[in-house]
């Protein structure tokens, strides 16, 4: 009973921490591509310039409470903000449940932060900022020098496989369709994911991300939300595939091999 309550408090603390960090990652995703400082000035409503009050420390709750409008001028606020926060909280909680209080938590939360920031930036600006990926890759690579369940080469090959597979697919797209199929930001993102998760997980992430991307594209075409040849951001699909592969890759690969052998 005592144990159960303590576990619940831990879960709640992780979710709140994820929401708070998520609101910072939103700021990073918006400002880094614009060359703005991520620490100053504090977040403000783009319409009236009103600063967030301290009661808006977790803007997700304010967003729901104020039905997606600014407290001062009632201008609508982009749903990307609460989305980024909710995704960070969810990803942090899933990583926490998977690896617990261990050195691996630094890698898992670092990777989750990168994936959410890339998702929000790609949805908003259709790009994944180089500086965000480079910073995350330096952090994740540094962690892996110290904490590496697999041999170190597995992570180096992960970076090569993540970048190389998408680079090759893009080359194929140029050859067959005479147009770029995959952005450079996606390639660099998957290099960072491979560095954090290893070559097996990054290949699985690419497979899951492509399946998700295909499914979402078909769904959007069928429901008439998008037209053929319209740009669909691939980053969020790759990010979802990466988190799934990082969290449950061992089990998925085991299940897949068991199915065919
Ligand atoms: Zn306002």
pLDDT tens for 17-36 read 999 999 899 999 999 999 99
pLDDT above 50 (res 174): yes
Interval between CA 25 and ligand 1 midpoint (Å): 21
Distance of CA 185 to the CA centre of its chain: 13
Instruction: Mark the residues whose beta carbon lies below 5 A from ion ligand 1.
Output: 45, 47-48, 50, 70, 72-73, 75
CA 20 to ligand 1 centroid distance, Å = 21
- Give residue 81 CA to ligand 1 midpoint distance, Å: 15
pTM, full prediction: 0.92
pLDDT band, residue 217 (cuts 50/70/90)? confident
Distance 118 CA to ligand 1 centre (A): 26
pLDDT at 48: 84
Q: Would you say 158 and 137 are in contact if contact means Cβ atoms under 8 Å apart? A: no
Closest by alpha carbon to 192, among 151, 235, 228?
235
Q: Say which residue the tokens 């009103």 belong to.
A: 50
Q: What is residue 90's predicted lDDT score, i.e. its pLDDT?
A: 98
Provide the 3-class DSSP secondary structure of residue 44.
strand
CA 67 – ligand 1 centroid, Å: 13
Q: Please give the average per-residue pLDDT across 137-142, as a whole number.
A: 98
Rounded to an integer, what distance in angstroms lies between the CA atom of residue 87 and that of residue 242?
Answer: 14
**pLDDT greater than 90 at residue 53:** no
H-type helices in the chain, by residue range?
2-31, 59-65, 80-99, 104-125, 130-146, 152-177, 184-197, 199-222, 235-260
Q: What is the mean pLDDT of the chain?
A: 90
Beta carbons of 80 and 112 less than 8 angstroms apart: no
Burial of 84 (0-12, 13-18, 19+ CB in 10 A): buried
52 or 135, higher pLDDT: 135
Copy the structure tokens of residue 122.
């790609």
């Amino acid at each position: 009973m005592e144990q159960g309550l303590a576990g619940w408090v831990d879960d709640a603390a992780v979710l709140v921490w994820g929401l708070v960090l998520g609101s910072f990652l939103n700021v990073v995703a918006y400002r880094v591509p614009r060359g703005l400082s991520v620490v100053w000035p504090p977040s403000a409503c783009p319409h009236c310039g009103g600063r967030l009050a301290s009661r808006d420390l977790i803007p997700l709750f304010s967003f729901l409470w104020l039905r997606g409008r600014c407290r001062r001028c009632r201008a609508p606020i982009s749903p990307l903000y609460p989305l980024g926060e909710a995704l960070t909280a969810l990803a942090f909680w899933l990583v926490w449940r998977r690896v617990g209080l261990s050195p691996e938590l630094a890698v898992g939360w670092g990777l989750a932060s990168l994936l959410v920031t890339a998702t929000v930036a790609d949805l908003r600006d259709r790009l994944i900022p180089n500086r965000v990926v480079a910073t995350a890759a330096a952090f994740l690579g540094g962690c892996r020098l110290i904490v590496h369940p697999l041999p170190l080469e597995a992570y180096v090959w992960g970076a090569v496989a993540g970048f190389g597979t998408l680079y090759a697919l893009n080359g194929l797209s140029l050859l067959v369709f005479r147009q770029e199929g995959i952005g450079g930001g996606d390639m660099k993102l998957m290099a960072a994911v491979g560095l954090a998760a290893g070559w097996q997980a990054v290949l699985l992430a690419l497979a899951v991300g492509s399946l998700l991307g295909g499914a979402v594209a078909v769904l959007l075409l069928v429901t008439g939300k998008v037209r053929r040849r319209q740009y669909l951001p691939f980053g969020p699909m790759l990010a979802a595939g990466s988190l799934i592969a990082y969290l449950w890759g061992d089990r998925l690969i085991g299940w897949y091999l068991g199915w065919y052998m």
